[in-house]
Structures are given as C-alpha cells and as structure tokens.
Amino acid sequence: MTATQTCTYRLGEFHPFEAGGRQFLYLVPAGAIFEMDPSAAAVLSLLSEGAATHEELIGKLTQRDFAYHDATELVQELFRARVIVATDSIQEPLEAPPSDFPLQSLVMNLTNQCNLSCQYCYEFGDDKVATPEGKPKFMDMATAKASVDFLLEQSSGRKAVHITFFGGETLMNFPLLEQVVKYASRRAAEQGRQIDFSLTTNGTLLTPAIIEFLSQNRVGVTVSMDGPPDLQDKLRVFANGKGSYDIIAPRVKALIQNHRTRPITARVTLTKGVTDVVRIFRHLKDDLGFHEVGFAPVTTSPDRLYAIGERGMDGVLEEFHILADEYLEYALRGEMHGFSNVSDTIAELYQGVNKSHPCGAALGLMGVGPSGDIAPCHRFVDSDTHSLGNIATGVDRAKQADFLNRGHINNKYDCRTCWARPLCAGGCHHEAFVRYGDTGHPNLHYCDWIRDWTDTCLRIFGAISAQNPEFLEKFAERKALN
C-alpha cells in the first residue's frame, strides 16, 4: 500500500496509550502496536485538526523544519502502517478462517457426573445448556479411541495437537484418562507427531498415584478453586452442603509438591461475595503454592443471586489493577508473577492476535461428550441445541458454518467501531448464549470493563517492551486458558 500525491489523509483507527514514558498506538485493523516518535506525533497532531491532502500535509511538515524527502518518507511509512489512511478508504472486513481450518485441540468430557454441587455450575445450575438426559454418564474406551482418531485426522498438517480432559469431575473417570493418554501417545508417535495433555479438576479425587501418573505423563493440571475456606466453601460444596476446602487443600498441596513436570494453575470463578481478588490470589499463590492463578466472573443471567453486579465488577477491576501493578514490577525484574489474566493478554499482544472469532470454539478446538456428540467447546457438550455432529458420523459442516458465521466479528454490528475488538471479538459464545440466547451476540454487558482491562494490559506490554523486552519472548508459545 503506497501513499500517492492524490491522497487525502485522515487518522487511522487506533487506541493511543502511554507506558514507560513512551507513547504507543494500538493499531486496530492490524491488532499491532506502534511506538510513536516525535515525527509521527507531529503528523498525528496535524491530522487531528482535520483531513489534509498529500500536498498540504507535506507542506505543513516542511514548515516544521522537516526536509521534503524526510516528510514524504514519514507519510509513506505511517500510511503503510495504517496509522493514517486515505479519507475514502473503507474498513476492510476481517477474512473468515478457511472452512477446512485444521483442529488443534480436543476437549474430552470424560463424564458429565460430578461429586460437588457448586451452585453456579454452568453444567448443572440454573443456566445450564446441557441436556444429558438419556445419554451415557461416562465416556467408554471405544468413544475415546474414536475421539483421538478424529483429532489426529482433523488436524492433519499440524505437527502438535492437544487433548484437554474435562468433566463433570474429570477424575471420576480416571481409568479412562490413563488409557487415553497411552493410546493417544502411541497413535501420535506412529505418525511422527506430538501430543500433549491437560485436565481440569475440582481437586477432590487427587491421590498420590494419580499425581504420579500426571507428572510422569506431563499432563498439565488446572484446579477449579475459589480461594481460602470462607470463600471456597460458599458455593463449592458437596451435595449435603458441606464445604470442600478441607478435602481439597491437602490434595492440592500434594499435587503442587509432587507434580514436577508442568506448572499447576488455579482457576477461580468470581461470584457475588467472592470478589476479593487480591486476597484469593495471595492464598492460592503464596499459601497453597499454585504457579499461576486466573480469574473469571461467573457466567450467568444477571438476576441470579450469585451474579456479580456492575458495582461488584468495578471492585474486581480495582483489584485486578493492584495485581497488574505487581505483575509489571515482577516482569521488569524478569520474574513471572503468576496472574494469568495478564499473561494471557500479553501473549496475545506479543503474537499479534487479531481475532475473527473470540476463541477457537468450533474452529481449532472442539468438545466431545461421553456420548460422542461433538460440540463447539466443552461448555456446549451434551447440549442437543448446540451439537455439531457425532464422533461416529463426523462434523455437521452446515451447523459448524452457521455457528462460526454468527460468531464472526464482521457480523457483530456493535463491535465494528470498538478498538478492543482484535482481542475481544465479542467475547465467549457460551456466555453470549446464556445472556442473550444467541452464541453470536456480542457480550455488551461488559464492554467498558473489557476496554479498561485491555488498556491496562497494553500499558503493561508497552512498559515491558520499553524496559525489559527480552521478557516478552516467554510468550511466543503460550496459549490462553479458557
């Protein structure tokens, strides 16, 4: 793209931010970060007064002591980077990924049964989308093998693939998990490919033997846990209402001590009254020893008792900012802090992510339930309304295309002018369905929150890139946790 003498210029679409004493622009159509210098700032200042022709812009720059050649080069460079654009340019739609986009990750829900009765659970609670009635409660080996084969077939062209084990409570079907790890490792090795594994668990069923198996096989572990006893036991309870902290804490400590091959992560669900982010982080990181802790507000209709209201979310943001400041201090010393919500966004910024869809659901990622039904992701498993086919019969490509079409950023009218869209892309499809009854609806209830948090992460990224750029190399391979 070249600027020409006949162009009339205006400012491009960007979000300016300051970090580490430097000025940056987040270039929205490219999802890229541009560091401003005084020359670029001069052009932006001129165009902020209104559009200018090529001749006018060069003329004003030469009046500001730019040599004609330097002014022309500068305008060309800013035009190529899309910091400035032609007034008649239109927003180019973001291309959809190809229809044969290869699978990379399969989430296998080994069971839809759980030994806890967490009141906010999206699988069993008031907002559930699953319809498991009459379907198998536990996946069997035939379905599991077919699922692994499906992943290897549908991911052709990719050297490395990933399986995440999920539930219900995943470890209620640990014997199957063991067999799947062995079978999938053998099948991948036969094809000269790599496969790795992770699981999510509530931690209640961890035993020394299970921990040893997970460590030996490099299975990454995320524990769903909400914090110290008073917070964990509010909603993460057994069927008789008894809290789960006392059962889980010693098992988690043993896991962290004895699982030597992968970092162990805690995933916290924030609900009304469980929003003390800093206190929760300190307990899980410092007292129990988790390597990383990530937080997500509960997915629910706004009128549920455990829903976090707007004021509650403002409080969460304030606490996020405290941890974000700490994160930056750690990063400037070259140390990982452990707050996953920052790391996940930094990774996306470092990798220059510019999303057509909010996540990999139905794209590079799919879920499969105990019955073999295929879903866009683990949260839609066992839902008749959202099924995308079955392992035995394959993916229903028309349903998949419909899901992806509705979730595409180009079809979310409200997001078109939002500077945060390269990273947000409208937010989680499952949350959109729970809130708006449509997986393709943008999650408009938290836009201000998302933009504030994205701006915070941009500032952290900018400060690190200015003061300790080598630290960012840690994020080349990182994938966000969902």
Site stretch for ligand SF4 (CB under 6 A), options 75-83, 157-165, 171-179, 428-436: 428-436
Residue number with CB closer to ligand SF4 (284 or 481): 481
Among 61, 223, 346, 428, binds ligand SF4 (CB under 6 A): 428
Nearer to ligand SF4, 338 or 364 (CB): 364
Residue 359 as a binder of ligand SF4 (CB under 6 A): the answer is: yes
Task: By CB under 6 A, tell whether 482 contacts ligand SF4.
Answer: yes
- Check: CB of residue 198 under 8 Å from CB of residue 210: no
| Phi-psi label, residue 389: left if phi above 0, alpha if psi -120 to 50, beta otherwise | left
- Give the residue, chosen from 285, 429, 435, 441, that forms a contact with ligand SF4 under the rule CB under 6 A: 429
**Site track for ligand SF4 across 255-294, x = CB under 6 A:** ----------------------------------------
Q: Which of 265, 104, 284 is nearest to 199 (CA)?
A: 265
Residues 6+ apart with CB under 8 A from 84: 9, 10, 11, 12, 43, 44, 47, 75, 78
Nearer to ligand SF4 among residue 286 and residue 438 (C-beta): 438
Angle at 245 between CA 242 and CA 249, to 5 degrees: 150
The answer to the question of residue 298 lying near ligand SF4 (CB under 6 A) is no
Nearer to ligand SF4, 252 or 424 (CB): 424
388 lies in the binding site for ligand SF4 (CB under 6 A): no
* 109 scored as a contact of ligand SF4 (CB under 6 A): no
Q: With binding defined as CB under 6 A, does residue 232 bind ligand SF4?
A: no
Does the protein bind ligand SF4 through residue 443 (CB under 6 A)?
Answer: yes
Whole-number minimum distance, CB 481 to ligand SF4, in Å? 9
Contacts to ligand SF4 from residues 451-470, by CB under 6 A: 451
Query: Contacts with ligand SF4 in 179-198 (CB under 6 A)?
Result: none
* Binding of residue 30 to ligand SF4 (CB under 6 A): no
Report the site for ligand SF4 in 395-424 (rule: CB under 6 A). 412, 414-415, 418, 420-421, 424
Distance separating alpha carbons of residues 144 and 166, to the nearest angstrom: 13
> 283, 379, 386, 441: which one contacts ligand SF4 (CB under 6 A)?
379
442 belongs to the binding site for ligand SF4 (CB under 6 A): yes
Give the span between the Cα atoms of 161 and 98, in whole angstroms.
Answer: 19
Q: Which residues bind ligand SF4 (CB under 6 A)?
A: 358-359, 361, 377, 379, 412, 414-415, 418, 420-421, 424, 426-430, 442-444, 447, 450-451, 482
